[in-house]
Chain A
Amino acid sequence: MGVFTQAWTWLATGSHWSGEDGAWHRLGEHVYVSALALLVSCLIALPLALWLGHIGKGGALAVNLSNVGRAIPVFAVLALFMVTPLRNAGYLPTVIALVLFAVPPLLTNAYVGMREVDPAAVEAARGMGMSGRQLFLQVELPLAYPLIMTGLRSAAVQIIATATIAAMAGLGGLGRIVTEGFAVYDTPQVVAGAMLVAALALLVEGVLVAVDRIFSPVRGRS
């Protein structure tokens, strides 16, 4: 437990927070890269998954694609980037690696959410004369919403945790605090960095849970 006390001391030291290498700056970089990666992942995964789920086709494709993405080790992706000219492309390699990791939970959850909509509800909606568009917006999407949000939450948390590897490519983010501590065997700094990442992830999870509760279309109906 001594390590954690020392980590608190590290966090309580003002000089660790200011400047280019300071925690505030690293936190900013971390949030920037994570938000960018989450946005790109959503833009790729959600339309595809919702469309595939709506037409009821491509299930094997969706799941297998996502599994291929999940099977790719971030470390290997970064290592490959580091021996190509892409290593000079700023945050691009990190964002690509993070997107590869975040698309699977988003895609799979959204697709499964759409497919697990009660067939009776879909049939009833069809029987009421709903068009495909109405069916999608008024029946399938609201019923799939909880699972889509679960996917979004796990993707966000995963991105924030994985963004620390940006440091392995010599880039910024909270991972730098961890790797720099690792390099000089400064365990309190490693733990402090890890605690910052965990705190950020939990904060984002909490915010997303709140957003989920407020906007849930099936709130109060059960």
Chain B
Amino acid sequence: MARNCLAANDWICWEYVSSRSQELTDATVQHIWITAVSVLIGLLVAFPLALLARGRKGVAATVLGITTVLYTVPSLAMFALLLPLFGLSAGLVITGLVLYSLTILVRNILAGLESVPPDALEAARGMGYGRIRLLFEVELPLALPALMAGLRIATVATVALTTIGSLVDHGGLGNLIEQGLPTFFKAQILTASVLCVVLAIAADLLLLGLQRLLTPWTRIRTAKAG
């Protein structure tokens, strides 16, 4: 019983969690704010881009093409390329993460806007809706499920990708993973990895709850169909 799991380098070690709770909390907090800021900026950039690309085949192809190219740039190289602009800062990691999230967000927002039935648009226009009212009262609500699906995917992926930020010491829980690697510190690597996954699932559930609150009509429809 007196065996020390830290000395034995066990995978699961409560003593590690309790003795390093401050370090773990700091890393988790950093992880959360880097993810949140990245996704929010991603959303703010993706929405106008999707609006711009909607209904214009050429613009849509260009926007989707560029964001896809950005997505294919490996994270290692992305951070190396942004390094001269930002230095070893959180801005470097956040910019990289925003660029990655754009592919998912733009695609989903665009798909959501384009899936709005033409009948609904025509009916609203016939009722005298202007462009702004049409966007906010008809198109946006109808596109919301696709938009939220994209937001959930982007958030979960960003939580996971944030770990790569450990390359420049702004990777939240990834920092702990990286620090644990050279010494084979199993408890630290596993605890940080598990926390990453828990964080991602928590964020996903939170957004799912938000989606349900925002789209009550989708539940009524499924209830009737079932």
Chain A residues with CB under 8 Å of chain B are 3, 67-68, 70-77, 79-80, 82-83, 104, 119, 157-158, 160-162, 164-165, 167-168, 175, 178-179, 181-182, 187, 190-191, 193-194, 197-198, 201-202, 205
Contacts and interface: CB of A to CB of B under 8 A. Distances in A.
Interface string B49-81: 000000000000000000011011110111011
A157 B70 CA distance: 11
Q: A-side binding surface: helix, strand, loop or mixed?
A: helix
Interface of B: 68-69, 71-74, 76-78, 80-81, 152-153, 156-157, 159-164, 166, 174, 177-178, 180-181, 184, 186, 189-190, 192-193, 196-197, 200-201, 204, 225
Given A70-B156, A83-B184, A119-B225, A75 B174 contact: yes
B77 A191 contact: yes
List 4 A-B pairs, minimum CB-CB distance, nearest first: A71-B200, A194-B77, A76-B193, A164-B74
B74 A197 contact: yes
Given A80-B189, A198-B69, A182 B184 contact: no
Given A70-B156, A73-B193, A79-B193, A187 B72 contact: no
Interface of B is mostly: helix
Given A76-B177, A79-B193, A157 B71 contact: yes
Nearest to A75: B163
B196 A71 contact: yes
B195 to A, nearest CB: 10
